[in-house]
Amino acid sequence: MSRVAIVTGGGRGIGAATARKLAADGLAVAVVDLDETTAGETADAIKQAGGTSIAVGADVSDSAQVTAAVERVAAELGPPTVLVNNAGVLRDNLLFKMSDDDWETVMGVHLRGAFLFSRTVQKHMVDAGWGRIVSLSSTSALGNRGQANYATAKAGLQGFTKTLAIELGRYGVTANAVAPGFIATDMTQATAARVGVDWDDFVKNAVSQIPVGRAGRPEDVANTVSFLVSEGAGFVSGQVIYVAGGPRA
Ligand code: NAP
């Protein structure tokens, strides 16, 4: 029987590419997204390619919705033993202009979301004696102007990951973080729009600072997640892998 994976924020960008890659690897994939329609588009693409997938609409920061989502996945696909905490939002602002809501929203989606999903799914992993948790951090964890909220959340996910690795290792569960640099997605396009820079110029400027000389693609991150989820990665745990075309973006 296929292993069952949950990818949060799988409707678009990195999450959608990761869901497609894990399905191509042979996993059954539950695509969770705030918007069930976009999740459905990813799930349909997976099914058209011959894979197994369902779409689940849920807000990762809402405890009751997370519980219901995991119960639905377990009932329809089987117990989930792979979790990719990918859902994310930006509310960038310089500290003096950052509102309470900018702070709470980012903490809610990235940190509370990863906490709620990991806490709910770990039971299935412990029961199975096997599991993989991968959370999306970012090079912004190292500090980034205008992102006090996001940098804090992404650094927090690294501490969260290392702690899960220590607590869950004895049950055959690994926990790792992937920290992308500049990846061309709706999220980075929204940043370009917010700062009023033409997208092509924004990409050109980012690429000028990336050692491998190109922008990241969602598939670059998906391939790294695929390795961490694989059977062969069972002795890799509590790590942060930067996927940034260099040591950091
Ligand atoms: P994206 O294109 O904006 O996609 C984010 C996805 O998360 C969307 O499908 C969105 O749903 C979903 N989402 C947002 N809030 C949610 C919630 N409360 N509950 C459930 N789903 C929610 O972003 P991306 O660029 O692919 O980024 C994916 C992850 O990688 C994020 O954690 C991000 O912080 C991280 N990352 C990205 C980059 C980059 O350069 N792109 C770099 C480093 C790290 P809707 O479509 O319904 O809004």
Q: How many domains does the chain have?
A: 2
| Cβ 51 under 6 angstroms from ligand 1 | no
Same domain? For 193 and 127 the reply is no
Long-range contacts of 219-222 (CB under 8 A, 24+ apart): 219/17, 219/21, 220/180, 220/183, 221/14, 221/17, 221/18, 221/136, 221/178, 221/180, 221/183, 222/14, 222/17, 222/18, 222/20, 222/21, 222/22
Q: What is the pLDDT of residue 178?
A: 98
Ligand 1: distance of its center to the CA of 65 in Å?
Answer: 18
227 and 134 within one domain: yes
Does one domain contain both 96 and 129? yes
Q: Are residues 177 and 86 in the same domain?
A: yes
Q: Which amino acid is at 130?
A: W
Question: For residue 156, is pLDDT > 70?
Answer: yes
**Which residues span the domain enclosing 168?**
4-181+217-243
Residue with token string 């290792």: 169
Catalytic site includes residue 242: no
CATH of residue 234? 3.40.50.720
If asked whether residues 205 and 107 sit together in one domain, one would say no
Q: What is the Å distance from ligand 1's center to 170 Cα?
A: 31
* Statement to judge: residues 71 and 49 lie in one domain: yes
- Write down the mean pLDDT value for the chain: 97
Ligand 1 center–CA 9 separation, angstroms: 6
pLDDT at 249: 46
pTM passes above 0.85? yes
Q: Is residue 9 part of a domain?
A: yes
- The DSSP 8-state label assigned to residue 121 in this structure reads H
- Pair 27, 149 in one domain: yes
In angstroms, what is the C-alpha Rg of the chain? 17
**Cβ neighbours for 222, distance < 8 A, ≥ 6 positions apart:** 14, 17, 18, 20, 21, 22
At 202-242, the pLDDT tens digits run 999 999 999 999 999 999 999 999 999 999 999 999 999 99
Please check whether residues 21 and 51 belong to one and the same domain.
Answer: yes
Instruction: Look at residue 174 and tell me if it is in a domain.
Output: yes
Q: How many CA atoms lie within 13 A of 249 on its CB side?
A: 22
Residues 239 and 127 both lie in one domain: yes
With contact defined as beta carbons under 8 Å apart, do 151 and 95 qualify? no
Is residue 197 assigned to a domain? yes
Q: Are residues 211 and 226 in the same domain?
A: no
Note the pLDDT tens digit of each residue in 51-81: 999 999 999 999 999 999 999 999 999 999 9
pLDDT score at 1: 77
By most ligand atoms within 8 Å of CB, the mutation choice from 109, 117, 158, 185 for ligand 1 is 185
Can you read off the two tokens belonging to residue 130? Answer: 């096997």
Closest to 9 measured CA to CA, from 70, 72, 63, 86: 86
**Catalytic residue (one of 115, 150, 182, 242):** 150
In a domain, 249, yes or no: no
Residues 132 and 201 in one domain: no
Ligand 1 atom having least distance to the Cα of 90: 34
Shared-domain flag, residues 154 and 232: yes
Query: How far is C-alpha 198 from the chain's CA centre?
Result: 27
Q: Does the beta carbon of 11 sit less than 6 angstroms from any atom of ligand 1?
A: yes
